Structure 1
């Protein structure tokens, strides 16, 4: 198994197998690690662009259009939602 070819197939969208992941994670070579990091960076940029989304914790509403895996208020999380009216926000 050529690990550089494996990185390329992942970058092209193929899902990694368990054997491939084990091989890549156990291979300790600085040049290879650099190639892996660069490929991961290209995939991230392609999928998400070079912008970040930041927000503060001022909850006027718990409705959200985003699907952030880490967030309790993500769109598909089935929780009770609320929206504050103007008077509640100004309190």
Structure 2
């Protein structure tokens, strides 16, 4: 009888030690501290007087961040001649 009480006590101690060894994992998800939003498009227009007497004009317009993604860049150059001629060239680069 004494031996069965000791065996029962040892068994209870073993089960208690196993349950105390169990671990609980808690996963928490938090919002980031800083949220970066892309800027909208930026346009820079430059007007120059060209030619020997400054009678011709050249207008350059550069737009960054246009299109579906903000990686697009567009450049338009418009030249006016004093003699009535004009020329416009556009280039768009979207990767």
Range of TM-score over shorter length: under 0.3
TM-score by length of 1: 0.17
- Structure having the higher strand fraction is 2
Structure number with higher relative contact order (C-alpha < 8 Å, ≥ 6 residues apart): 1
Higher radius of gyration, 1 or 2: 2
